[in-house]
């Protein structure tokens, strides 16, 4: 069972700046506390918004956010979503936001699955017509992915040529053991389509693909793993491609990345050259003073919102 301290320790060990981005200097930013996105609207032209903990918690909109986003859009700000949720294509994912009060079309939504689809053509396995076994629930439209794909099963786990880990809907330790044994017998590439280690639930923490990647590397240290999603920069390249399609030329420092997790949203946004805002009131750091965690991680946002 994961708890906050365990999840924090895993993130800080595996997703710190020096480990992921050793060739760049970690920026030390002001971490200025503000009351609202509206208070800093002159600081950005484009919003890049995480989903969970920023726009919604489960099936409920975060209080005041629909009105805030609508007000910013009315002033000409473009609002995009960048999520590590990889189960569904963006046109399917887009359907969840209007009922929550957000007018953000599919053209403005990017997920880590988009980053997976950008990476897939670069694999020799894909170019050779090999088959990827995809870890995700039914109804995920994997046939749309730009490669030969099948849903992973106990019958094909030893036959597929690589693995794409999109979601943990049915995954458990028994499945993890099967995958580990299969990879020990025959090394094959693994794509982690959601690098999140965990996400906060109402009274507990979920276990996400990033956690299982850590467990795989404990058993097989030389395993070839490609991560797609925040904080890894392929997700920001996917986002920037989409932003350029919609608005034309832009400057990264006029994008505000808004997220609830230091080691994914803020670390990745900083590395991509964006301004960053940690929304610490509804997501991963809810109920905690974020400043000691900022200092401990040395991941500094430009701004913090904590209104509860």
pLDDT in tens, 178-230: 999 999 999 999 999 999 999 887 778 899 999 999 999 999 999 999 999 99
Q: What is the pTM of this model?
A: 0.96
Distance CA 112, CA 145 (A): 13
Distance CA 40, CA 305 (A): 11
Q: If DSSP codes are grouped into helix, strand and coil, which group holds residue 81?
A: strand
To which CATH superfamily is domain 125-227 assigned?
HAD superfamily/HAD-like (3.40.50.1000)
Task: Round the average pLDDT of the chain to a whole number and report it.
Answer: 96
Q: What is the pLDDT of residue 159?
A: 98
106-153 pLDDT per residue, tens: 999 999 999 999 999 999 999 999 999 999 999 999 999 999 999 999
CB 192 within 8 A of CB 165: yes
Q: Where in the chain is the domain with CATH 3.40.50.1000?
A: 28-114+231-305, 125-227
35-87 pLDDT per residue, tens: 999 999 999 999 999 999 999 988 899 999 999 999 999 999 999 999 999 99
Gyration radius (Cα) of the chain, Å: 19
Q: What is the pLDDT of residue 173?
A: 97
Quickly name the fold that domain 28-114+231-305 has: Rossmann fold (3.40.50)
């Amino acid at each position: 069972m994961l708890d906050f301290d365990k999840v924090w320790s895993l993130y800080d060990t595996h997703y710190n700046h020096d480990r992921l981005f050793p060739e760049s200097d970690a920026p030390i930013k002001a971490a200025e506390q503000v009351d609202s996105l509206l208070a800093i609207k002159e600081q950005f032209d484009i919003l890049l918004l995480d989903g969970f903990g920023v726009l919604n918690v489960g099936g409920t909109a975060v209080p005041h956010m629909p009105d805030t986003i609508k007000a910013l859009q009315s002033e000409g700000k473009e609002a995009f979503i960048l999520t590590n949720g990889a189960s569904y294509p963006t046109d399917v994912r887009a359907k969840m936001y209007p009922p929550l009060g957000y007018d953000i079309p599919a053209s403005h939504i990017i997920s880590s699955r988009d980053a997976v689809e950008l990476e897939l053509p670069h694999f020799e396995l894909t170019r050779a017509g090999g088959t990827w076994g995809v870890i995700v629930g039914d109804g995920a439209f994997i046939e749309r992915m730009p490669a030969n794909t099948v849903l992973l099963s106990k019958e094909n786990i030893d036959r597929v040529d690589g693995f794409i880990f999109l979601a943990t809907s049915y995954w458990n330790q028994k499945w993890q053991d099967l995958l580990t044994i299969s990879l020990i017998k025959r090394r094959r590439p693994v794509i982690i389509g959601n690098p999140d280690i965990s996400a906060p639930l109402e009274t507990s923490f979920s276990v996400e693909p990033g956690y299982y990647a850590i467990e795989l590397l404990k058993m097989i240290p030389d395993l070839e793993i490609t991560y797609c999603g925040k904080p890894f920069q392929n997700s920001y390249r996917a986002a920037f491609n989409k932003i350029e399609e919609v608005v034309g030329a832009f400057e990264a420092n006029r994008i505000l990345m808004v997220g609830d997790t230091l080691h994914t949203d803020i670390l990745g946004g900083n590395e991509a050259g964006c301004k960053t805002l940690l929304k610490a009131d509804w997501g991963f750091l809810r109920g905690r003073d974020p400043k000691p965690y900022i200092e401990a991680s040395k991941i500094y946002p430009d701004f913090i919102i904590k209104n509860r």
